[in-house]
Amino acid sequence: MELTCIPFGTTAWSTVETTMHPGESGTAYWRTRQFGKIRVRLVEYSPGYLADHWCSKGHILFCLEGQLETELEDARTFTLSAGMSYQVGDNAEAHRSSTTTGAKLFIVD
């Protein structure tokens, strides 16, 4: 990831439009900003959320609130709670997210 041609700016996330993304169960709510090729999101998963796909996109993800379960395609699982993060490269390891309690995340990809 190379951060170029992005002037200094601030984001008031409460003013960014929310889009809904249904999962296999539950819903993800995204607030998204695009800076060139870099996508930055504030994402909230409803309790009981399970992604409807395996993702192969790279992310840097920081858990702000709640608890997030991340399953890799090889069956390994990781649990993030508030204050934890993960990072994965593009096409490195397919993963999918779920949460029983709900989670709020800050994601850069």
Domains and their CATH numbers in the chain: 20-108 (2.60.120.10)
Q: In this model, does residue 2 exceed pLDDT 80? A: no
Q: What's the pLDDT band for 41 if we cut at 50, 70, 90?
A: very high
Helix and strand element counts for the chain (H, E): 0, 9
* Cβ contact 94:74 at 8 Å: no
Q: In this model, does residue 96 exceed pLDDT 70? A: yes
Q: What pTM did the predictor assign?
A: 0.92
